[in-house]
């Protein structure tokens, strides 16, 4: 796909003072007339915003929101929003790398969209994105630019195929064209995400060779990236995390007609009320409400009779049927209580069968929620090596006791702890602008 359009109609005015309103009520998110005739990634509107930890602690970073043209599941034009960030005080630098981070939004409600949840004053109960900020800040501390797209789109299509990749890639295009970041068309791009963010990141690197081949994506880290949603759906049904299947159904009934028909004719009135609640809350708030509940509790007929009607949808959602062109690191807990390791084994195998270069690390001691912070130093160090152009060994699969036990990553873990303290206190992340510039130059060398 050839991209020629650049930036149009940019209104670089600050967001209105006071508590931000959710995207559905914010005029900034509305598509301008004629947006569809512009190329994907064209910046349609921009504004500076203030970022805060949990919506409360202001962060000393420089941030903007960009509204840009993108594409939905069916190839139709739509608008999307990304939050782009620089370290506080950093000057535009054409050598600066760009990290595309995909959050574990895992929700339908627009209050969990990163562009809302990360803002000062945001009320986003149950948001995972607000917690992930503690980790993303480590990329800014390294002097990188960061783009965090609302990869579920304007309707919260959690779990949909392909379109998270389109929005992520167009968010990268928009960031490259946004003059205050000072990036170039050939800026080196790293991709990172965990769980629902790992799934979105998987779609980004799977779609990139066809949808955005001009982007210089040098590496991706996919943490517990779901792999086979059908397998995850069935394994979570009736368990501690049964709320996740309810959120996915609430989201995907808007996207897949077969699922919408199942909801219409097979869900009980109580079941439809559960889906309505799942639409309006963040995942951390939904999960306690549905512990131990089975889908059969909300259906007029057994789930086993319904599944054959949804096989085409699950086939569409399965990851690994297209090969990433960039090197990929996959990290996965062996005993993941949310996303079974066998599903990720399958995704890795499908990538390799199609010629992708994949390094796969399986962690014995971690579980789903602990591996994200523990693997952050490994993830960022690995991406830093790709940005610096360092050579790689042959792709391997390793099962380790813990990624945290590697002495090579202890220093990075100390730095991560320091960053978390700075985030919690609203202090500058560092390094100082001059040091950041030196690090960026080193990556470009």
| Under 8 Å between Cβ of 369 and 244 | no
Q: What is the mean pLDDT of the chain?
A: 91
Give the pLDDT of residue 9.
54
Q: What is the pLDDT of residues 121-163, one digit of tens each?
A: 999 988 999 999 999 999 999 999 999 999 999 999 999 999 9
Give the pLDDT of residue 2.
36
Give the pLDDT of residue 12.
60
Is pLDDT of 372 > 70? yes
pLDDT-based confidence at residue 14 (cuts at 50, 70, 90): low
Which residue ranges form the domains of the chain, and what is each CATH number?
23-228+318-444 (3.40.50.1820), 229-316 (1.10.260.130)
Give the pLDDT of residue 258.
96
Is pLDDT of 81 > 50? yes
Q: What is the pLDDT of residues 245-260, one digit of tens each?
A: 899 999 999 999 999 9
Give the pLDDT of residue 100.
98
Q: What is the pLDDT of residues 396-418, one digit of tens each?
A: 999 999 998 877 677 777 888 88
Give the pLDDT of residue 289.
87
The more confident residue out of 6 and 378 is 378
């Amino acid at each position: 796909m050839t991209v020629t359009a650049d930036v149009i109609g940019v209104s670089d005015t600050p967001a209105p003072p006071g508590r931000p309103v959710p995207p559905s009520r914010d005029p900034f998110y509305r598509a301008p007339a004629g947006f569809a005739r512009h190329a994907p990634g064209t910046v349609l509107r921009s504004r500076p915003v203030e970022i805060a930890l949990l919506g409360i602690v202001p962060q000393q970073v420089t941030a903007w929101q960009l509204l840009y043209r993108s594409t939905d599941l069916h190839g139709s034009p739509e608008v999307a929003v990304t939050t782009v960030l620089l370290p506080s005080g950093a000057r535009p630098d054409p050598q600066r790398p760009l990290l595309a981070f995909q959050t574990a939004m895992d929700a339908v409600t627009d209050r969990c969209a990163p562009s809302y949840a990360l803002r000062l004053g945001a009320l986003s109960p149950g948001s995972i994105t607000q917690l992930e900020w503690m980790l993303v800040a480590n990329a800014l501390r390294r002097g990188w630019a960061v783009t965090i797209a609302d990869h579920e789109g304007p309707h919260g299509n959690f779990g949909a195929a392909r379109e998270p990749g389109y929005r992520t890639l167009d968010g990268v295009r928009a960031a490259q064209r946004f003059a205050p970041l000072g990036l170039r068309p050939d800026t080196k791009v790293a991709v990172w995400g965990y769980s629902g963010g790992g799934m979105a990141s998987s779609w980004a690197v799977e779609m990139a060779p066809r949808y955005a081949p001009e982007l210089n994506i040098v590496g991706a880290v996919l943490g517990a990236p779901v792999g086979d949603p059908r397998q995850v759906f069935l394994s979570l049904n009736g368990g501690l995390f049964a709320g996740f299947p309810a959120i996915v159904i609430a989201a995907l009934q808007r996207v897949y007609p077969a699922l919408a028909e199942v909801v219409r004719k097979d869900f009980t009135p109580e079941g439809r009320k559960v889906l309505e609640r799942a639409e309006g809350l963040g995942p951390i708030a939904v999960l306690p409400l549905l512990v131990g509940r089975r889908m059969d509790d909300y259906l007029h007929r057994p789930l086993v009779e319904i599944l054959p009607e949804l096989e085409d949808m699950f086939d569409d959602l399965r990851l690994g049927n297209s090969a990433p062109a960039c090197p990929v690191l996959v990290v996965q807990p062996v005993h993941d209580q949310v996303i079974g390791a066998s599903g990720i084994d399958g995704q890795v195998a499908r990538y390799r069968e199609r010629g992708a270069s994949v390094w796969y690390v399986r962690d014995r001691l971690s579980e789903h929620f602990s591996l994200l912070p523990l693997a952050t130093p490994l993830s960022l160090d690995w991406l830093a090596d790709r940005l610096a152009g360092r050579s790689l060994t042959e792709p391997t699969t390793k099962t380790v006791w813990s990624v945290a036990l590697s002495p090579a990553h202890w220093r990075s873990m100390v730095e991560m702890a320091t960053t978390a303290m700075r985030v919690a206190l609203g202090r500058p992340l560092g390094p100082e602008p001059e040091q950041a510039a030196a690090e960026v130059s080193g990556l470009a060398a």
